[in-house]
Amino acid sequence: MGVSDSPKLDKNFLFDSASSTAGGQAIGCWRHSTFFTANGCPCPLRRNPSDHYLRIINKDFDEEIKNGPSLKSPSAAEAIETLVNSFRSLHNLAANIQAMRTENDVLPLIKERQAGFFTKLLVLIKRSSVNMHRDIGYYWLRFAIFTFVCLSIGSIFYNIGDTSMGSIQVFRKERLNGHYGATAFVISNTLSSAPFLGLMCIIPGAIIYYMTGLQRGMDHFIYFVAVLWASIMLVEGLMMVVAVMVPDILLGIAIGSGIQALLLLSCGFFRFPDDLPKPVWKYPMYFISYHKYGMQGLYKNEFVGLTFGDQMNRNGLLMGGDHVLKKLQVEMGYSKWVDLAILCAMVIIYRATFLAMIKLTEMRGPIIKCRWMKV
């Protein structure tokens, strides 16, 4: 230990900041007042710190300390041992902290091997399917509701014959996860939900189809179920797009329901297409409404080629389904399969829009939040 024989303040400061050794062993390398106080050797008031620390670790002062008033003061050997052990412990702690800091600084730079896109896709499909299968409120409750509603409709219009028809719509929305890519999430969600939506359409659809006495034939029934499936897929895609733009659940349901109501009002069911106001309602709402293609496809599926044996027109000829389609102003320039193809294309468009909205939110979301916080 370096010792200054002058009690001036500047020399005390140099001593207080210097590195201390006792018996060839390091006992401190920072401010001594804190270190000595923490180890039970505080500097008394009105005493020079340099003299006090020197008396603590210098064995030459042991006799003076024993004969002095400070009988409880430890010997120099004991004090040195305590200070050395404390310094080593602090030194090891500082080394461990530095190692942890270095490890934490290096770890983020090491990029772990990421699973491939198709591996993530398969894992997400499996997880989503298990979740949809286990969660009663996900699809099973809706399946039960669909079945009950279709039983009710089928009993009301039981064996209705050739005079009326009906339809059903439903919606649902889903949230995403940010631990994987948005593309994998959208594709996996679409593929995992498709079988459940198909089940929701097949069994309830069969109940309402055969109870109401619609046209017999497997091709007619398959088309009926396919239109229902595409319509529900469209509703889910629409609600997902709304969910990305509006994070609040109640507000999202209200906006999604409002959009569907506008599409339903302009589909040509409540007013014939020729009677719709051309600005907005006919162009473009009528042509972008998926209800239009689903409804007209079902009309064609039921009435094309159908004849009514007990109904005659003014010329005494039997009335057929073509006459009904003409009265309903159904577009007959293309077949029912074109309507189904348009619905399937709209399913893809809605899901692609959902993916684009997720990407846009990921890119622009933080910027918008920062600007909002500044305002």
pLDDT at 15: 43
pLDDT at 73: 62
The DSSP-derived string for 298-310 is HHHHHHTT-EEEE
| CA 371 – CA 358 distance, rounded (Å) | 20
What type of residue is 286?
Answer: Y
The DSSP-derived string for 40-68 is T-PPPTTS-HHHHHHHHH-GGGHHHHHHS
Q: How many CB atoms lie within 10 A of CB 330?
A: 23
Low-confidence ranges of the chain (pLDDT < 50): 1-19, 22-26, 28-30, 71, 107, 109-110, 156-157, 160-178, 372, 375
For the chain, the structural domain boundaries read: 9-109, 117-374
Report which of 224, 240, 198 is spatially closest to residue 339, judged by C-alpha positions: 224
pLDDT at 204: 84
| CA 189 – CA 350 distance, rounded (Å) | 13
SS3 breakdown of the chain: % helix, strand, coil, rounded to 5? 65, 5, 30
Q: How many CB atoms lie within 10 A of CB 274?
A: 9
Q: What is the pLDDT of residues 81-113, one digit of tens each?
A: 777 777 777 766 677 677 776 655 554 544 556
pLDDT at 163: 34
pLDDT at 30: 45
Contacts of 346 (CB under 8 A, 6+ apart): 230, 234, 290, 293
pTM greater than 0.85: no
What type of residue is 214?
Answer: L
